[in-house]
Amino acid sequence: MSILTIILNILLPPLAVFLKHGLGTTFLISLLLTLIGWLPGIIHAFIVND
């Protein structure tokens, strides 16, 4: 995992997921979790971008 990916996972989790996986269910889940709460979005982004 690069430094850029780590920074994006923390600041903009849906963008980090989008850059790795594109538009799809993973992105929508990340977006939903980030809207519910910032921390669940970050956790999901780190798990998915592992």
Q: What is the pLDDT of residue 42?
A: 96
Residue 13 has a pLDDT of 96
**For the segment 1-50, what is each residue's pLDDT rounded down to a tens digit?**
799 999 999 999 999 999 999 999 999 999 999 999 999 999 999 999 98
| Eight-state DSSP code of residue 23 | S
Q: What is the pLDDT of residue 1?
A: 76
Assigned token pair, 40: 């669940």
pLDDT at 21: 94
CA 15 centroid distance within chain: 6
Q: For helices 13-21 and 25-36, give the axis angle rounded to 10 degrees.
A: 180
pTM: 0.88
Give me the pLDDT at residue 28, please.
96
